[in-house]
Amino acid sequence: MTNDDLKKELSRCLSCRLKPCEKACPLGVSPHDFILAAKSGDYQQAARLIAEKNPLPQTCGLVCPSIFCQAACIRRKIDYALQIPCLQAQMIERGNLPPLTLPEPNGKKAAVIGAGPAGLGAVFELIKNGFYVDLYEKESTLGGAVRLIPQSRLPKEVLDKEIARLTQNDRVTVHLNTEITDFQSVKEKYDTVILSLGEPIPRTLGIKGEEHCISYKEYLQNPTKYQAEKIAVCGGGEVALDCALTAKANVEMFVRRRREDMRIDKNKHDELDKKGVVIRALTSITEINKTAATCTLTTISNQITSEGKAAPCPETKKSLSGYGIIIQALGSYYPKEKIPAGFITAGDMTGTTGTVVEALSSGIEAAKKAIEELK
């Protein structure tokens, strides 16, 4: 964004008295307030206002969907909503991240298991309240599922810088490559424990031949390993979008419902079109057969019923061939029955969040609950 573009966008804010944009933010960041500071040229103050509520402020600015503050923006009644997440990212970039100020230690020690946004949100709240925190992460890096977001949407340097601000201080000890399996014995060593384990199990199509597919996790962790002339992506959400936009090939997306039902922002449709991604909407894959180097897909068309469900239309079977790679990008889940009883949980594992900002908020709320329980 150029200086002129930024000033123009800031000037569109109406400074609405009731601050609907603040109410719509899961973390309670106030676009009204930070835009006001920015309008007076004080980007540092704008960055401070954002970062005191949001532990991953630039990250959220770059990846937040338009369903929160932007959807609530009153300016849309005149022409179109302010690009609030983009403005937030600009403020952090221009105003810099203020250092964390921490109170005297309170002598209590917490364990946070899982270092995605929910775990990091919990760490943020705990250290702001004087706790020492041991942060356990089974992978070799911090950040959880956010690490799978492609570099083009979220530069790793932004994420690394924001995570370092939260974890590189005398209150947090990070334990990488440490998968916790016995949660109960961890509980015995700490004043409080928060579980933020994400959604480890990718959803599958549940059809004959699905063993020929790879999961979105395998693909996005190492896209260069999987090269083919034609790639099929199954799914219609953010995860499928990232797979489709990452692939350097002819990509076809198989979406069970209508194109307008895809859970992605409008501008992302333009990106898919620009890249020439073919969207096979109202189409389900029912069988996969491997033939030499490629796969043949059997598909069926769907129609939307009066109850709004996607139902298969009989006699619409098709056979499509030549797919070198098939990616299942249907999201993932944490098996409810496996959630250990008697623990405070946060983030996507609870089934109540699905975005970075919501997971951060859930982690902060979990930490507040833990702090309350110790009083």
Q: Which residues make up the interface to ligand SF4 (CB under 6 A)?
A: 13-16, 20-21, 31-32, 35, 73-75, 82, 84
Distance of CA 367 to the CA centre of its chain: 20
- 37, 220, 253, 330: which one binds ligand FAD (CB under 6 A): 220
**Residue 231: what are its φ and ψ, rounded to 5°?**
-120, 135
Nearest residue (CB) to ligand FAD, 238 versus 252? 238
Smallest gap, in angstroms, from Cβ of residue 317 to ligand SF4? 49
Say how far apart CA 113 and CA 131 lie, in whole Å.
15
Q: Are 236 and 253 spatial neighbours (Cβ–Cβ below 8 Å)? A: yes
* By CB under 6 A, residue 148 contacts ligand FAD: yes
Stretch that binds ligand FAD, among 26-34, 234-242, 294-302, 316-324 (CB under 6 A): 234-242
Smallest gap, in angstroms, from Cβ of residue 55 to ligand SF4? 22
Say how far apart CA 129 and CA 123 lie, in whole Å.
10
* By CB under 6 A, residue 138 contacts ligand FAD: yes
Q: Which residues lie below 8 Å from residue 264, measured CB to CB, with a gap of 6+?
A: 236, 237, 238, 241
* By CB under 6 A, residue 136 contacts ligand FAD: yes
Distance of CA 18 to the CA centre of its chain: 28
Report the DSSP beta bridge partners of residue 91.
none
Tokens in use for 127? 């250290």
* By CB under 6 A, residue 145 contacts ligand FAD: yes
Nearest residue (CB) to ligand SF4, 17 versus 225? 17
- 3-state SS class at 294: strand
Say how far apart CA 344 and CA 367 lie, in whole Å.
8
* By CB under 6 A, residue 84 contacts ligand FAD: no
Nearest residue (CB) to ligand FAD, 136 versus 323? 136
Say how far apart CA 102 and CA 98 lie, in whole Å.
12
- 33, 42, 93, 139: which one binds ligand FAD (CB under 6 A): 139
Closest-CA residue to 143 (of 81, 53, 207, 63) = 63
From the list ligand SF4, ligand FAD, none, partner contacted by residue 156 (C-beta under 5 to 8 A by kind): none
Strand 230-234 and strand 201-202: pairing? unpaired
* By CB under 6 A, residue 31 contacts ligand FAD: no
Smallest gap, in angstroms, from Cβ of residue 31 to ligand SF4? 4
Say how far apart CA 358 and CA 51 lie, in whole Å.
16
From the list ligand FAD, ligand SF4, none, partner contacted by residue 137 (C-beta under 5 to 8 A by kind): ligand FAD
Nearest residue (CB) to ligand FAD, 223 versus 322? 223
Q: Which residues bind ligand FAD (CB under 6 A)?
A: 63-65, 113-119, 136-139, 144-146, 148-149, 179-180, 196-200, 220, 238-239, 242, 347-348, 353-357, 359
